[in-house]
Structure 1
Amino acid sequence: MATEILSAQNPRVKEWAQLLERKGRDRQQRYLIEGPHLVEEALKYHAPVTTVVFSLDKGLPPGIREQGASAGIEWVGASEAVLAKLADTQTPQGIVAVVERTAAQAASLVGGAGAGNGDGGGRSPLVIVLDAVQDPGNVGTIIRGADAVGADAVVLGRGTADLYNPKTIRSTMGSLFHLPIVEADLGELLPLARRVGARIVGTSLQANRSCYEADLTQPTWLVFGNEGKGMSGAVAALVTDPVIIPMHGKAESLNVAMAATVLMFEAARQRGIARTGSG
């Protein structure tokens, strides 16, 4: 049986709507996801979903209830007015879910320069690090790329866009439920990674070696900096392997998400990832 809420002024709806803002997410330690795909991915990969709110007019999308049948989830049928109040998109998609925030532990990444994700057959760890990447779309796209190449984790340094920003979540296309994502002080974490043998790789226009010449088969942490300023001086000083992405056309630079994609897939190529797929 589903609870029904018809009024957008319902106290619970007002509380959920606060999750559209970072202040509300931080206070409640919860966040919202919107749309059938994200809700299904959250349920499929056992994210801590507490409540699913769906359109009484449209009903639940196929397969959603089955995915969360044994998870003790609250099901709430709602009016279109309620869903509009909880939606971040211009056209509400008929379903949202409330998810508890969980924090992966940064210490777990340096037990051997990062534990493997279980799919790499004992390969060296690959960790993606963001240093004050501020655009939520870029952050979400990089997380999606990290998932695509089988990275072991993504680390969000200080100043990086909020993982639970609705735009970040949409840009991940569900990948935030597929791999550990850690928020950490890079000034503390990167030296620990170096201490256990990880190579800290970052792009630099002054680098003497291209990303295609670097050995990315070893335990590797790929660091990407702010859209306008690049890596901070403190983080850049911790890079052990500066590389440059060679460009043969007339473009002066690449967007940070594009640069991250190039390096992540070069690491995947060197590591011999055999399974193919399409984007």
Structure 2
Amino acid sequence: MSESSQHLFSDRVDLMDNPKANRVGFVSRLARRQTRQKYGLALVEGPQAVRELIRFQPSAIRDLYVDLEMASGTYRELVLAAREVTDFVHPCTRQVVDHMSSDAQGIVAVAELEKLPFHPVEQLQLDAGMAVLLARVQDPGNAGTMVRLADAFGAQAVLASAGTADLSSPKVLRSAVGSSFHLPTYTGQFSDLVVPLKKAGFKILGTSGEGAISFDDLIDAATLGTDPELAPVLEGPLVWVFGNEAKGLAPDEAELCDYLVSIPMYGQAESLNVASAAAVVLSGTARIRHRQ
């Protein structure tokens, strides 16, 4: 290592320059759910996700691996922040980092799952706010984007029913761009997630193309007082439920919802992508909940 970069790293680590090393192979295998579960570790890829991990969940960091050339340039401040919380920041050749992950962008971290905000349904506990429930949303890109949307529009938690993409997977974490480390997620059977919240006074709003109530109805009720029953719904404790990309909500899921809500469309599109639907209703709901 050059003198300009050597001081960035602890004396306890050496330059990693062998892409066939066992450690490199192990980190790359964390892309597999089975490996993550066996060792209780997650793989965090890319600068923004790593930055938010360092900022919000520093105790979870096991190791951080960074392209040596980028460590003393583009990622210098990121490396310095990481060194504040761990000695195990490893300088690597770019080839090594790329073997760990093709989506690394020169930097990856390994984090302990038990120290990240991923929880089973048994630990579910929410205050009177807004939550987002992914009901068998299977595409990791959609799931991660919806975690990011939940974070952006003020949800206090994300819930994921059985059959949803693993929220600790690298693809989900990458799509969430760090939001996975900002708010808790809870995973379990759909009814186990919904029923306790219904009993606690949360309104369960399922999105459906065949919903009897339109999202415009809810907005009008909240802003114009057009329907006394619907008027308080968007401002009170609620859970927005988004169903499977191909099939939407299953009958048993729809039955547990207090309202099925459709999104009015005025063009020729047949439907909205589930993440697009989430963006529409979460943005509108946030506007109502945070109006002055």
What 5-or-longer segments of structure 2 have no aligned partner? 1-9, 219-232
Q: Root-mean-square deviation (CA), in Å?
A: 1.8
C-alpha separation in 1, matches of 2:244 and 2:177 = 22
Paired amino acid for 1:49: I
1:152 deviation in Å? 0.3
Match of 2:76 in 1: 62
Match of 1:5 in 2: 16
Matched, 1:193 2:197: yes
1:31-61 deviation digits (Å, cap 9, x = unpaired): 1112222211110112411101112233251
Greater Rg by CA: 2
Question: How far apart, CA to CA, are the structure 1 residues paired with 2:281 and 2:154?
Answer: 13
Counterpart residue number, 2:241: 223
Percent identical pairs in the alignment equals 34
- State which of 249, 253, 263 in structure 1 corresponds to 2:271: 253
> Is there any run of 5+ residues in structure 1 with no aligned partner, and where?
116-123, 275-279
**Are 1:80 and 2:94 counterparts?**
yes
Give 2:7's aligned residue. Answer: none
Q: Which residue of 2 aligns with 1:14?
A: 25
TM-score (norm 2): 0.84
User: CA contact under 8 A between 1:34 and 1:97: conserved in structure 2?
Assistant: yes
Give the drift of 1:248: 1.6
Tell me how far apart the structure 2 counterparts of residues 69 and 166 of structure 1 sit (CA, whole Å). Answer: 23
Question: CA, structure 1 residues 254+270, in 2 after alignment: closer, same or farther (shift >3 Å)?
Answer: same
Structure ranking higher in helix proportion: 2
Q: What amino acid sits opposite 1:104 in the alignment?
A: H
Aligned to 2:52: 41
Letter in 1 for 2:237: P
Q: CA deviation at 1:4?
A: 2.3
**1:69 Cα deviation from its structure 2 partner:** 3.3
Write out aligned runs for 1:96-107 (5 A).
Answer: 96-102=108-114, 103-107=118-122
Match in the other structure for 1:153: 157
Distance 1:27 1:168 in 2: 19
- 1:37 is matched by which residue type in structure 2? Q
After TM superposition, the structure 1 = structure 2 runs for residues 101-120 of structure 1, keeping only pairs within 5 Å, are 101-102=113-114, 103-110=118-125, 114-115=126-127
Comparing 247-256 with 54-63, greater Cα deviation is found at: 54-63
Query: TM-score if structure 1 supplies the norm length?
Result: 0.87
